[in-house]
Amino acid sequence: MSSSDSTHSGVYVPPFNQRERIPQEAIDDLVRQIAEQFHPERIILFGSYAYGTPRPDSDVDLL
């Protein structure tokens, strides 16, 4: 895995041409990491994953 394949949090992000739907467990882990590190008042999921309509090229939109 090269440095371009991951974020600073250590979450692996495969290239777009190798992506499938991101498992809910991975989204939960990412939200947990954000909560532990930054202690936000809330974390909001929006976009195609929030609506239950993600495609293989969809990203996870968090606010």
Predicted local distance difference test score (pLDDT) of residue 20:
78
pLDDT at 60: 93
- Could you give the C-alpha distances from 7 to 1, 14, 45, 55, in angstroms and in order? 11, 11, 18, 21
Radius of gyration of the chain (CA): 12
Q: Is residue 3 part of a domain?
A: no
The answer to the question of residue 42 being in a domain is: yes
Number of domains in the chain: 1
Residue 30's pLDDT is 94
Q: Find the domain containing 38 and state its range.
A: 20-62
Indicate whether 54 belongs to any domain.
Answer: yes
28 inside domain? yes
Give the residue among 63, 41, 35 at the shortest CA–CA distance from 50.
Answer: 63
Residue 7 falls inside a structural domain = no
Q: What is the pLDDT of residues 2-57, one digit of tens each?
A: 444 445 567 666 665 666 788 999 999 999 999 999 999 999 999 999 999 999 88
Note whether residue 58 is domain-resident: yes
Return the pLDDT at 16: 58
Question: Does residue 49 lie in a domain region?
Answer: yes
15 is a domain residue: no
